[in-house]
Amino acid sequence: MDAGDPTHEDKPLAVVRQPKAHDSAAKHTTGEAVYVDDMLEPSGTLHAAPGYAPIAAGRATRMDLDAVRKARGVVAVLTAGDIPGVNDISPKQIGDDPAITPDKIMFHGQVLFVVLAETRDQARRATKLARIATAPAMPLIDVDDALVAENHVHDDYGFLRGEPADEISRSPRDVTGEFRMGGQEHFYLEGQVALAVPGEDGDILVHSSTQHPSEVQHTVAHVLGLHSNQVTVECRRMGGGFGGKESQATQWAVLAALGAFKTGRPVKLRLDRDDDMAMTGKRHDFRVDYRAGFGKDGMLRAVDVTFSARCGYSEDLSLGVVDRTAFHADGAYFYPACRIVTRRMRTNTVSNTAFRGFGGPQGKLFAERMMDHIAYAIGRDPLDVRKANIYGGVGRDRTPYGMRVEDNILPEIIADLERSSDYWGRRREIAEFNAASPVLKRGIALTPVKFGISFTLIHLNQAGALVHVYRDGSISLNHGGTEMGQGLYVKVAQVVAEEFGVGLEMVKITPTSTAKVPNTGPTAASAGTDLNAQAALAACRAIKERLYAFIQETYGAGREQVKFRDGQVLIGNQAMTFGALVDQAYLGRVSLSSTGFYRTPKIHWDRAKANGRPFFYFAYGAACSEVTIDTMTGEMKVNRVDILHDVGKSLNPAIDRGQIEGGFVQGMGWLTTEQLVWDSTGRLQTHAPSTYKIPTSSDVPADFRVTLYESGGNREDSIYRSKAVGEPPVMLAISVFSAITDAIASLKPAVMPRLDAPATPEAIMRAIRATTGGDG
């Protein structure tokens, strides 16, 4: 079996491992790739626009919507009372997230009503005509407000090992710190959008830009009081997701479906960018408080850390997101004793949600800051401190949640990168530069990544696929994963083409649809390929089993005499095209269609006992970044970045490199220029690209060296021994943040710069003041 052995492949691969272009690459460049808003609208399509709460907390005491109803083009105005089923869109169906709030207002931007009009412009304009009387309450805006008010969306959770408090007090050295890290807007280029088309018997077809069609399906059914079999959700592609369309595409699909249900006409809802940014959740921002005890060499003895996350007004996915923060609070380091506490704070802001890394980057940022803190406290190079604490060695392989780290390749990766990036040579050059440069200071950092792969909600680690082979040998592929640009579709198609020994052009990729593959999980947790390619492979093999049996019966040849290669089927000395074989099989009444199913092996997790093996494996990588800062203004520039990242044995190195580079730059944005600002009334001030700054081309260093680690392959039996790559590269960008810290630290020995994320020019100036002995 070719996908089974990590070290050698028993036949040369023709399609898998090739740097195939994204399946839609050419269509992207010509504008022919169709997104939901580009679909031909059925005649009579109405356009929906939400009207939203003008305050962050309190009640809407009276809504006068007469002028809205009378406005030009308006066909209907929907309020909570129009919902026939259950008014809840929360992923766990726990009732804390109304599709349209009846009157209680939990954040500025919460949907109060929905206008349906003949044109989108009419619908948007009409929303402004509502007169809403409110009884405002005092909003809780940030984590500190919520901590004082003790308002949580869920119980605290964490891990305890040993007696960290005692250990810290017994340690030769210790540090205490606190810092903040901001959230992050997804800024998918295609905003939230759905088109709902009513059918007969009350059925509804919803085209939704969603990472989770099944959840949209179930929620639409729930809200409309339908059975799930009456609702079909389709998604051909998204214009970016990044977690922002995992749970939070649902509301817009539900509202479009509600409009269609009420009017009997197709309804499209596409959020305006500013509304999208105000009304949809973001990466969780955190306050982190920590203490660490360690030896004079910087070796950790104990860690005590508390993460307080701003979850927003409802739970959404915060349970799992903040759990993942706890899972990654160890970074890549062994904590002999530790207490890791995570707190999920409820605020009157938009409900924070999944974002590439799903809480992991926040945990990891803490671990790297703690390493920096220890290093500056004892005057050792941060890289030495990192290496000293990395997992490995006798009795140093167990995570705070009990899982053993069995596949750690970080020592090799770090050693390679240390050499290839000339870390130590540049460390010396930088010291010389800084000594002679009063205004500009440079810094460098090399940080590792270790990221756990699998959903920690274990039941999500399953996937289905549906493969049809037609009589001409062409293949139709469907699975539960969604395409948001990450190249999932082409990777799965490569696996299918390889399996049947045909060219990629023979595999037709079809839109994800709940009518084809049911009860799917979200495309998330970096696991899209791991799960769906395995499911598709299972479907292919089921069909192949039947073909082998047919060949045995017809040609008397056993499977060891059969090869599927180059579009041919070789049976002993005979050759025929794949199409000829399957046509014969069809005439022989062999089914050429199969479902496939996959469930990730080995994993189990008992959350209550905080024990188990939540991850199938870990993905690893490391980055070395160098920056220059301007100590007068706080401006910063990234000079050079070297990345060495482990994707196992790659299914598609071009796609994987794209994920690494894109993830790195996105993570760099999170930690540098992307700043979310709410005012004291709870109104988001940064709700458009004019005020919220994601990286642009010139922010990417000209010297950007990205290498795939030459891996022997995933030690676990993953698809073709590849590794997941969607999320881990985001955390490579922590090297930029640490390099900025390093540049500031050059101003004064033995002081840990108090730098909050994002490291905007202003944050850098604040850290410089705090470091050089001014105030903070």
Partner 1 sequence: MRKTIRFIRKGRMVELSSVEPTAMLLDYLRDIEGCKGTKEGCREGDCGACTVAVGRLRDHRLVYEPVNACIQLVGQIDGCEIVTVEDLAEDDGHLHPVQQAVVDQHASQCGFCTPGFVMSLFTLFHATKGPVTRDEVNDWIAGNLCRCTGYRPIVDAAIEASGQPRRDRFAANSGDTAGLLSFLADSDDVFIGDDDRFIAAPASVDSLAALYERHPDATIVSGATDVGLWITKQMRDLPKIILTGRARGFDHIADTGYELMIGAGATYARIEPHLRALDPDLGELLRRLGSKQVRATGTMGGNVANGSPIGDTPPLLIALDATLELRKGKQERSIPVETYFIDYGKQDRERGELVTGILIPKLAPNQIFRCYKVSKRFDQDISSVMGAFRLTVGEDGSITEARIAFGGMAATPRRAKRAEHALTGAQLRDSRAWARAFGALREDFAPISDHRASARYRVETAHALLGKALIEAAGTASSRTRINGVREVV
Residues 739-768 binding partner 1 (CB under 8 A) are 760-762, 765-766
**Range in contact with partner 1 (rule: CB under 8 A) among 92-100, 189-197, 198-206, 740-748:** 189-197
Minimal distance, residue 658 CB to partner 1, in Å = 6
Counting contacts by CB under 8 A, is residue 444 touching partner 1?
Answer: no
Break the chain down into helix, strand, coil percent, rounded to 5.
35, 25, 40
Residue 28: CB partners within 8 Å, gap ≥ 6? 22
Closest CA to 452 of 622, 331, 284, 597: 331
Residue 133 contacts partner 1 per CB under 8 A: no
For residue 120, give Cα distances in angstroms to 35, 47, 50, 698: 17, 5, 11, 35
Any idea how long the chain is?
A: 776
Which member of 6, 9, 14, 21 binds partner 1 (CB under 8 A)? 21
Residue 37 found at the interface with partner 1 (CB under 8 A)? yes
Stretch that binds partner 1, among 99-107, 270-278, 357-365, 375-383 (CB under 8 A): 270-278
Indicate which single residue of 187, 327, 366, 709 sits in contact with partner 1 (rule: CB under 8 A): 187
Nearer to partner 1, 33 or 747 (CB): 33
Verify whether residue 498 is a known catalytic residue: no
Pick one of 3, 15, 17, 22: the residue that binds partner 1 (CB under 8 A).
22
Q: What is the full DSSP assignment across 14-41?
A: SSTTS-PPPTTHHHHHHT-SPPGGGSPP
Distance in Å, CB of 348 to partner 1, minimum: 18
Binders of partner 1 among residues 225 to 254 (CB under 8 A) are: 237-242
241 vs 596, which CB is nearer to partner 1? 241
Tell me which residue of 610, 612, 646 sits closest to 404, measured CA to CA. Answer: 612
Tell me which of 79, 456, 666, 771 binds partner 1, using CB under 8 A. 666
C-beta closer to partner 1: residue 383 or 759 = 759
CB of 618 to partner 1, least distance (A): 23
Name 134's bridge partners: 60
* CA–CA gap between residue 331 and residue 369 (Å, rounded): 10
Alpha carbon distance 216, 226 (integer Å): 13
Q: How buried is 689 (Cβ within 10 angstroms: 0-12 exposed, 13-18 middle, 19+ buried)? A: middle
- The answer to whether residue 491 forms part of the interface with partner 1 (CB under 8 A) is no
Taking contact as CB under 8 A, which single stretch among the options 66-74, 187-195, 342-350, 495-503 is the one that binds partner 1? 187-195
Residues in region 527-556 near partner 1 by CB under 8 A? none
Using CB under 8 A as the binding rule, whether residue 31 contacts partner 1 is answered as: yes
138-161: buried (b, 16+ CB within 10 Å) or exposed (e) per residue? ebbbbbebbeeeeebbbeebbbeb
Q: How far apart are CA 35 and CA 593, in angstroms?
A: 28
Candidate segments 362-370, 530-538, 552-560, 682-690, binder of partner 1 by CB under 8 A: 682-690
How far, CA to CA in Å, does 680 sit from each of 141, 200, 430, 467, 641? Answer: 7, 49, 42, 54, 38
Q: Among residues 233 and 768, whose Cβ is nearest to partner 1?
A: 768
Q: What DSSP character marks residue 532?
A: H
Nearest to 651 by CA among 211, 19, 224: 19
Q: What x/- string results for residues 393 through 432 when contact with partner 1 is judged by CB under 8 A?
A: ----------------------------------------
Planar angle of CA 163, 164, 166, nearest 5 degrees: 70
**Which residue of the set 190, 545, 727, 762 is catalytic?**
727
Main-chain dihedrals φ then ψ at residue 557, nearest 5 degrees:
-110, 135
Q: How far apart are CA 515 and CA 513, in angstroms?
A: 5
Which residue's CB is nearer to partner 1, number 412 or number 630?
630
Determine if residue 758 is left, alpha or beta; phi over 0 gives left, psi from -120 to 50 gives alpha, anything else beta: beta
38 vs 505, beta carbon nearer partner 1: 38
Q: Which one, 38 or 472, has the nearer CB to partner 1?
A: 38
Strands 636-645, 703-708: pairing kind: parallel
Under rule CB under 8 A, residue 285 binds partner 1 = no
33 contributes a contact to partner 1 by CB under 8 A? yes
Any alpha helices (H) in 128-190, and if so which ranges? 143-149, 164-170
- The residue type found at 361 is P
Q: CB-wise, 654 or 751, nearer to partner 1?
A: 654
Residue 689 CB, nearest approach to partner 1 (Å)? 4
- State which residue, 350 or 551, has the beta carbon closest to partner 1: 350
Site string for partner 1, 594-633 (x = CB under 8 A): ----------------------------------xxx-xx
Select from 91-99, 212-220, 415-423, 635-643 the region that touches partner 1 (CB under 8 A).
635-643
Q: Cα separation of 78 and 103, whole Å? A: 14
664 makes contact with partner 1 (CB under 8 A) = yes
Nearest alpha-carbon partner for 469 in 329, 372, 333, 583: 583
Residue 556: strand pairing partners: none
Asked if 693 touches partner 1 (CB under 8 A), the answer is yes
Residue in 548, 329, 568, 340 with CA at minimum distance from that of residue 450: 329
Interface with partner 1 includes 94 (CB under 8 A)? no
Q: How many residues bind partner 1 (CB under 8 A)?
A: 87
Interaction of residue 186 with partner 1, rule CB under 8 A? yes
Considering only residues 457-486, where is the footprint of partner 1 by CB under 8 A? 484-486
662 binds partner 1 (CB under 8 A): yes
Of 143, 112, 141, 152, residue with least CA distance to 349: 141
Check binding of 261 to partner 1 (CB under 8 A).
no
Return the residue of 91, 448, 621, 658 that touches partner 1, per CB under 8 A: 658
The footprint of partner 1 on residues 492-511 (CB under 8 A) is none
Binding segment (CB under 8 A) for partner 1, from list 75-83, 119-127, 306-314, 383-391: 119-127
Q: Which two tokens stand for residue 701?
A: 């260093």
| Positions in 696-715 near partner 1 (CB under 8 A) | 696-700, 702, 704
**Active site positions, annotated:** 727
